[in-house]
Structure 1
Amino acid sequence: MLILEAKIYGKQAQYDAMDEAIRTAQFIRNKALRYWMDNKNVGKYQLSAYTKVLAESFSFADKLNSMARQSSADRAWAAISRFYQNCKKNISGKKGFPKFKKHSRSVEYKTSGWKLSQNRKKITFTDKNNIGQVKLKGTRDLNWYDIKQIKRVRIVKRADGYYCQFLVNVDNRLRIELSYSEIGLDVGLNNFYTDDKGNEIENPRFYRKGEKALNRLNRSKSKKYNKVAKPQSKNYHKARKRYALKHLKISRQRKDHAVKLARCVITSNDVVAYEDLRIANMVKNHNLAKSITDAGWYQFRVWLEYFGYKFGKITVAVPPQYTSANCSECGAKVKKALSTRTHKCKCGCILDRDENAARNILSIGLSTIGHIGSQAWGDETSILTDENLSG
C-alpha cells in the first residue's frame, strides 16, 4: 500500500462543509463506541450495521456517505480490538480502554462518495455534505494509478489547511544492490544515534530550538483569550493559528529528519539492528520526557522498518537490557551511572559508552535474538489516522 497526499484548495463554504463531515464522522465513531459499551457481544459487523440506524435517526448523519459512516465505525472497532488484544496479552498497567474522541481532524471515505476528474487534478465529493469539487496540488501524479487501485480517500485538517490522502493498493517494494555491511544503532540524547563503528549523528533538538518562539506565541494567544466571550475574538483565533503553525513546522522538521536518516541507513546497510525501546514507559521520567519526545526515536524506528520492508533489508529490534552495561569485547558486566560516558573494562576495552552499546546491539541482532521488525504497511488497509507515508 502507498499513501499519497495532496493539498486541497477550495472556497470557505467548502472548508466549512469539510468541518461538518469531520464532526459527523466523530459523532458516528463515538456513538458506535457507546453502542458497544451498552450491549454485550457486539462485533465489527454489528457496529457497521448500526451506522444505518444512526443515519435514519439523525438527519446530519444521513448527509455523510454510507461507506464513510462505516469507516467511522471501523475506527471505533480498531480501538476496541486493540483493547481486547492488550487484555489477551495481559500487558502490565492500563490496557487502553477505548475513549470518546473530542477533537477529530479527519474523515475517511472508501470506494464511494468521491470522484476524481479526468486529469486527476480535482476531486468531487458526491455525498450530501455539499463539499463539491475542489482542486488538488501535490508532488505525486495520480495518473500513474488506476482508479480501482485507490481503496480509500481521507480528508485531513491541519493548521495550514486541508489535505486529501489516497490509499493506493500497489506494491512499492524495490530491490537495490547489496552493500554487504551491517550496522548497530544506539539512540541517545547527547547524539541522535551512535553506530558500532563510532560514527555519531547529532541530535537536532527541533523543539528545544523553537521553544522560545513557541512560548512567546502561547503568551500572545493567552492574552487574547477572554473567559466570558463566546465565541472568542478574531484576534484570538489568529494568535491560536500562529501557535499551531509553529507546532506543525517543528513536527514536520522532526519527521523530515527521521525519514531522510532512516532511508540513508537502510540503503547503506543490509542488516540494521536497533533497540526495542518502550518509549511510553521512558517518558514517565518527567526529567527526560521532553528531551525523549523531542528526539523522535519511535518515528525514526517506524521509518526504518518501513524502508526495510520497501527495499528488502533486514531490520532487527533487540531487547535493550544490559546493552550498555555488558562489555562488547569479553561480555563482562561493568556497572556505570548514567553520567558515566566512557566504558572501561578489566579486559582493557575502553570505548565510548554508546559505541559499546551499539556493538552489543549488533552482536545480538546478528545472532537473531529479538524480533524482526518489518512493519509491512501494505498488509494493513485500516486506519492509519493522520499519518502520511508519502515518501
Structure 2
Amino acid sequence: MIIYEFKVKAKEFQYRAIDEAIRTSQFIQNKCLRYWMDNKGVSKYDLNKHCAVLAKEFAFVNELNSMARQSATERAWSAISRFYDNCKKQIPGKKAVRPRDDDSRKGTRTKRGYPKFKKYCRSLEYKTSGWKISENRKAITFKDKKGIGKLKLKGTYDLNYYQLDQIKRVRLIKRADGYYSQFAIKANVKVETEPTGKAVGLDVGIKYFLADSNGNTVENPMFYRQSEKKLNRANRQKSKKYKKGAKPQSKNYHKARCRYAKKHLRVSRQRKEYCQGVAYSVIQSNDLIAYEDLNVKGMVKNRHLSKSISDVGWSTFRQWLEHFGRKYGKLTIAVSPQNTSQNCSNCGGKVKKSLSTRTHICPHCGYVEDRDINAAKNILKKALSTLGHREANTLAGDLPSGLVGFGLSSDGESMFAQRCVSKPRITVAKSAGSVKNV
C-alpha cells in the first residue's frame, strides 16, 4: 500500500463544505464512542448498525456518504480495540474509570490509552464510493450531498499508472497551509536491488543525528532550534491578539494563529525530509542495518532532554528506515539498547560512563573511541549474533521477534533474508560487520 498526496485547489464554498464533512465525521466518531461507553459488550458490528441509526436521526449525517460514515465508525473502533490490546498486555497506567455523564473529574478517564472524544479532527476518509476521478486524473469529484464538488489536484505524482480498483481509500486533510487529498493505492512497492555486501550498525543521538559502526557521523540539523526565535515571536503576536472571553475571536487572531501554525508545519516538513534522505542513503549503501529499539515515548518525558529528542526525530527516521528496508529488500534489525553505550566494542568489558562523557576509554584493553561510534559497533554485534536464529525462524514459518514497533511487518519477507536462505553462497561474517560472498 502506497500513499500519494496532492494539494487541493477549490473555491471558498468548497473549502467550507470540506470543513462541514470533517465535522460530521468527527460527530459520528464521538457518537459511536459514547455508544460504546454506555453499553457493555459492544462490537464493531454494533457500531456499524449504530452509524445507520445516526443517519436516520440526523439529516446532516445522512448527507455524508455511507462509506465515509463507516470510515468514521472504524476510527472509533480502532481506538477501542487499541485500548483492549493495551489492557491485555498489562501496560501500566492510571486506574480505569468508565466516564459517567455527571463525572467532570479530569485525570480519571484515561488508562492504557482509554479512548477520548475528538475535539479537533482534521481529516475525512472515503472508501471506494462517493468520489470519482476525472479521465486525466487531475481532478476528483465528491458525489455526496455535502456539496464538495469537483476539486483540482496539484502534485507531481501520476495516478495514470494505476487502475481505479487499486485506489482503496481517499482522504481529505486540512492543514495550516491548505487542504490536501491522499490516495491509498494497493500496489507492490518492492524493488529488486543488487546486494552491496555491507552491514552497518546505527546509533542515533543528540550531538550527532546518527553515528555508524564504520566511524561515520551525520550532523544533527536541529531545525526546531534554528527556528525557535521565529516561532516564539509568532506565538507572542498570536497571544497579543487573543481577547479573553471573546467568542468568536477576531479575524486578526485567526490570521496570526495560521501564521504560527505554518511555521511549525515548515519545521516538521524539514525534519521529515531530512530523515527520509538519510534513511534512503543508509538503505542504498548496506544490505543489513541494525539500530536500537528505543522507547522514544518514554524518553521524551525527561524534561531536560525532551525538546532535543523531539527535534532530532528518531521515530520518523526509524519509520522511513523500515519502509525503505521493505521496499528495497534490505534486512533491518532492531536490537535492545541495554548497555550498548556502556560496553566496550573491542573486548566486551563494561565501562560505566555518564551521559556527558562523550569518549569511550576502556581501562581493560585501552581501546579509545567516540561514545556513539562504540555504541554503533555494539549494536551491529548484537544484530549479527541473532541473525542465524532469525533466519531459522523464517525457514520454520514463524515470525521473527527482532522487529517490534510502529509500522513493522515480519522481516521474514525481506528479499535479503530470502537470498541468504535460498543462496548458501551469501553468508554474514560475524567480524567487523561486513556481508561477504563465499
TM range (shorter): over 0.9
2:84 counterpart letter in structure 1? Y
Matching of residue 368 in structure 1 with residue 386 in structure 2: yes
What is the Cα deviation at residue 289 of structure 1? 0.4
1:151 counterpart letter in structure 2? K
- Structure 1: runs of 5 or more not aligned: 380-391
Question: What is the CA–CA distance in structure 2 between the aligned matches of 1:73 and 1:368, rounded to whole Å?
Answer: 42
What is the Cα deviation at residue 355 of structure 1? 0.8
Q: Higher mean Cα deviation, 269-278 or 90-99?
A: 90-99
**Identity over aligned pairs, percent:** 61
What is the root-mean-square deviation of aligned Cα atoms in Å?
A: 1.4
What is the Cα deviation at residue 72 of structure 1? 0.4
Tell me the secondary structure at the aligned position of residue 20 of structure 1. Answer: helix
Q: TM-score, normalised by structure 2?
A: 0.85
What is the Cα deviation at residue 81 of structure 1? 0.9
Question: What is the CA–CA distance in structure 2 between the aligned matches of 1:327 and 1:307, rounded to whole Å?
Answer: 31
Aligned twin of 1:26: 26
2:3 counterpart letter in structure 1? I
- Out of 282, 289, 299, the position equivalent to 1:282 is 299
Matching of residue 190 in structure 1 with residue 190 in structure 2: no
- Structure 2: runs of 5 or more not aligned: 94-110, 388-400, 411-438
Tell me the secondary structure at the aligned position of residue 367 of structure 1. Answer: helix
Q: Which has the larger radius of gyration?
A: 2
Aligned twin of 2:263: 246
Aligned twin of 2:16: 16
Tell me the secondary structure at the aligned position of residue 27 of structure 2. Answer: helix
2:294 counterpart letter in structure 1? L
Aligned twin of 1:177: 194
Q: Do 1:309 and 1:374's aligned partners in 2 also have CA atoms closer than 8 Å?
A: no
Distance 1:103 1:133, change over 3 A: same
Q: Do 1:308 and 1:374's aligned partners in 2 also have CA atoms closer than 8 Å?
A: no
Superposition map of 1:1-391 within 5 A: 1-93=1-93, 94-345=111-362, 346-368=364-386, 371-372=402-403
1:122-178 deviations in Å (ceiling 9; x for gaps): 110001100011111111111111111000000000001000000001111101111
Distance 1:251 1:37, change over 3 A: same
1:96-126 deviations in Å (ceiling 9; x for gaps): 1111111010000000110111111111000
Q: Do 1:305 and 1:375's aligned partners in 2 also have CA atoms closer than 8 Å?
A: no
Question: What is the CA–CA distance in structure 1 between the aligned matches of 2:263 and 2:66, rounded to whole Å?
Answer: 36
1:306 counterpart letter in structure 2? H
| Count of aligned residue pairs for this structure pair | 379
Question: What is the CA–CA distance in structure 1 between the aligned matches of 2:125 and 2:60, rounded to whole Å?
Answer: 17
What is the Cα deviation at residue 44 of structure 1? 1.3
Q: Do 2:322 and 2:408's aligned partners in 1 also have CA atoms closer than 8 Å?
A: no
Q: Do 2:33 and 2:117's aligned partners in 1 also have CA atoms closer than 8 Å?
A: yes
What is the Cα deviation at residue 344 of structure 1? 1.2
Q: Do 1:8 and 1:162's aligned partners in 2 also have CA atoms closer than 8 Å?
A: yes
Aligned twin of 1:384: none
What is the Cα deviation at residue 377 of structure 1? 7.6
Distance 1:169 1:377, change over 3 A: farther
1:363 counterpart letter in structure 2? K
2:89 counterpart letter in structure 1? K
What is the Cα deviation at residue 45 of structure 1? 1.4
2:380 counterpart letter in structure 1? L
Tell me the secondary structure at the aligned position of residue 37 of structure 2. Answer: helix
Distance 1:363 1:47, change over 3 A: same
What is the Cα deviation at residue 374 of structure 1? 8.9
Question: What is the CA–CA distance in structure 1 between the aligned matches of 2:337 and 2:407, rounded to whole Å?
Answer: 23
Distance 1:96 1:373, change over 3 A: closer
What is the Cα deviation at residue 223 of structure 1? 0.7
2:229 counterpart letter in structure 1? K
Q: Do 1:155 and 1:164's aligned partners in 2 also have CA atoms closer than 8 Å?
A: yes
1:4 counterpart letter in structure 2? Y
Aligned twin of 2:394: none
Distance 1:296 1:102, change over 3 A: same
Q: Do 1:309 and 1:376's aligned partners in 2 also have CA atoms closer than 8 Å?
A: no
Q: Do 2:51 and 2:69's aligned partners in 1 also have CA atoms closer than 8 Å?
A: yes
What is the Cα deviation at residue 184 of structure 1? 0.4
What is the Cα deviation at residue 229 of structure 1? 2.6
Question: What is the CA–CA distance in structure 1 between the aligned matches of 2:194 and 2:403, rounded to whole Å?
Answer: 21
Tell me the secondary structure at the aligned position of residue 229 of structure 1. Answer: coil
Tell me the secondary structure at the aligned position of residue 54 of structure 2. Answer: helix
What is the Cα deviation at residue 256 of structure 1? 0.2
Question: What is the CA–CA distance in structure 2 between the aligned matches of 1:11 and 1:377, rounded to whole Å?
Answer: 40
1:203-223 deviations in Å (ceiling 9; x for gaps): 010001000000000101111
What is the Cα deviation at residue 91 of structure 1? 2.1
Q: Do 1:225 and 1:232's aligned partners in 2 also have CA atoms closer than 8 Å?
A: yes
Aligned twin of 2:431: none
1:261 counterpart letter in structure 2? V
Aligned twin of 2:426: none
What is the Cα deviation at residue 42 of structure 1? 1.0
Question: What is the CA–CA distance in structure 1 between the aligned matches of 2:407 and 2:119, rounded to whole Å?
Answer: 30
Tell me the secondary structure at the aligned position of residue 269 of structure 2. Answer: helix
2:112 counterpart letter in structure 1? K
Distance 1:378 1:189, change over 3 A: closer
Question: What is the CA–CA distance in structure 2 between the aligned matches of 1:221 and 1:340, rounded to whole Å?
Answer: 41
